Copies of this chain bind each other. A is one copy, B any other.
Amino acid sequence: MAPSDRTPDALHADAPGRPQRADGRRNQARVLEEAFAAFAEHGAAVSIREIARRAGVSTGTVTRHYPTKEALFRAVALHRIEHLVRSAEEITAREDPATAFFTFFALLVRQSAADHAVGDALTGAGFDLQAAASTAIHDFGAAMAGLLSRAQRAGAVRGDADAADVKALIAGCIARPDDGTAQRRMIEIACDGLRPRPAS
């Protein structure tokens, strides 16, 4: 065979002493898949043992592929964040500055409610992803700042609001027990609050 180059893949095992084994690759994918589901359901608070149980492997297997719990959570959360960044870019291109921001805001709230991993990543519950600099979260911050400042220049959002305010409002919307109509109303309330004050 002599397969010249075996995709080293994975976050580790760059040394070409031996390629990654097939079952290892399968298990890693399975763990990641179940971690997605588990974190989405219960947030970053789920235990490694629970994820291992769901994936049908032992805890050792989980920590092998993701040496620490934070590494696993980041692998899951960054996927979602990257997806959000793409959505932000798409919305920015598609819609005018005024509605683009509010559309993205609503998207963030809905995603956070549906996927607790997103909510925990945004609010910093469990782990502080901001700390470990990553291109994904940097891009997200940039996208958010861009959306916000464009909306402000368009006069759709009060000028003194900053990204932290928006993040806090999202946290507030998430805090609302999840009822479809109630969530939509909370988004309305938050967005209305962000608009410039009528006159004064």
Residues on A facing B (Cβ under 8 Å):
123, 158, 160-162, 164-165, 167-173, 175-177, 182, 185-186, 188-195, 197-198
- A175 is contacted by which of B123, B176, B198 (Cβ under 8 Å)? B123
Knowing A191-B193, A192-B197, A193-B192 are in contact, say whether A175-B186 is a contact too (CB < 8 A): no
25 contacts between A and B (CB under 8 A): A158-B189, A161-B185, A161-B189, A162-B182, A164-B176, A164-B177, A164-B182, A165-B176, A165-B182, A165-B186, A165-B189, A168-B175, A168-B176, A171-B172, A172-B173, A172-B175, A172-B190, A188-B193, A188-B197, A189-B193, A189-B194, A190-B193, A191-B193, A192-B195, A193-B194
Contacts of A123 in B (CB 8 A): 175
